Amino acid sequence: MPKIEVHEKLFNALLGATYTNDELEEMLPVAKAELDWYDAEEELYKFELNDTNRP
């Protein structure tokens, strides 16, 4: 499945809020995604998209 990386500051700015990793893991399945990993040193999230309805 496709994976995307996004910096924590940009991600939080786009959401307009700050969430813990646990909160994100609870919310992301609604968007057919999951938190693959978080690099605290580089402040970088990596999300895996789980949409099985791809052509």
The confidence score (pLDDT) of residue 4 equals: 95
Distances (CA, A) of 26 to 19, 22, 34, 49: 11, 6, 9, 14
Instruction: List, for residues 3-55, the tens digit of each pLDDT value.
Output: 999 999 999 999 999 999 999 999 999 989 999 999 999 999 999 998 777 66
End-to-end CA distance of the chain: 13
The confidence score (pLDDT) of residue 51 equals: 76
The confidence score (pLDDT) of residue 55 equals: 63
Element (H, E) at 5: strand 3-7
* Identity at 55, one-letter amino acid code: P
Nearest CA to 32 out of 12, 2, 11 is that of 2
The confidence score (pLDDT) of residue 54 equals: 60
The confidence score (pLDDT) of residue 5 equals: 97
Give the whole-angstrom CA distance, residue 11 versus residue 17: 9
